[in-house]
């Protein structure tokens, strides 16, 4: 896999406003927010797409999902709720080949999203 912007953020070569971090994930504020609070959560172990989860350790995937909830709580979204979005592949508008969750909140969100 080629190096992405997220790889550079993890290596601290590109600055990011960190919202939450633990041993396995990094969560940071999106530079083009689509809601008052828009956080990206990336695993420190790189997976490009959901298909990569087939060969991944289920415990690592579980930790990643739990960390998404922890990041949302850390930025104060637990009480009012939030949306978690994954874009998987070109047709879904995934622009960085590195699996990442978008946490959106801080206002009422509409449905359908797109």
Q: What is the DSSP letter of 20?
A: E
What is the per-residue pLDDT for 114? 55
Select which of 38, 63, 74, 100 is catalytic.
Answer: 100
The helix or strand, by DSSP H or E, that contains position 72, with its residue range, turns out to be helix 58-74
What is the per-residue pLDDT for 108? 93
What is the rounded distance in angstroms from the CA atom of residue 29 to the CA atom of residue 41?
9
The helix/strand/coil state of 101 is strand
What are the residue ranges spanned by the domains of the chain?
5-105
Q: Note the pLDDT tens digit of each residue in 4-59.
A: 999 999 999 999 999 999 999 999 999 999 999 999 999 999 999 999 999 999 99
Query: Is the pLDDT confidence value at 113 over 80?
Result: no
What is the rounded distance in angstroms from the CA atom of residue 60 to the CA atom of residue 76?
25
Q: What are phi and psi of 27, to 5 degrees?
A: -120, 135
Copy the structure tokens of residue 96: 């960085």
Q: Note the pLDDT tens digit of each residue in 52-85.
A: 999 999 999 999 999 999 999 999 999 999 999 9
Q: Is the peptide bond before 99 cis (omega within 30 degrees of 0)?
A: no
**100 carries an active-site annotation:** yes
What is the CATH code of the structural domain delimited by 5-105?
3.30.428.10
Query: Is the pLDDT confidence value at 1 over 70?
Result: no
Query: Is the pLDDT confidence value at 112 over 90?
Result: no
If one counts every other C-beta atom within 10 angstroms of the C-beta of residue 28, the result is: 21
Strand pairing class (18-21; 37-43): unpaired
The answer to whether residues 44 and 25 touch, using CB atoms and an 8 Å cutoff, is yes
């Amino acid at each position: 896999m080629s190096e992405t912007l997220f790889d550079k953020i993890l290596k601290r070569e590109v600055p990011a406003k960190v919202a939450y971090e633990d041993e396995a994930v990094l969560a940071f504020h999106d530079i083009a927010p689509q809601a008052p609070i828009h956080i990206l959560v990336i695993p420190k172990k790189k997976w490009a797409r959901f298909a990569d989860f087939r060969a991944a350790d289920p415990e690592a995937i579980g930790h990643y999902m739990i960390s998404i909830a922890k990041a949302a709580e850390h930025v104060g979204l637990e009480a009012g709720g939030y949306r978690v979005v994954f874009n998987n592949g070109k047709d879904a508008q995934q622009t960085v080949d590195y699996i990442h969750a978008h946490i959106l909140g801080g206002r009422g969100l509409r449905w359908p999203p797109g």
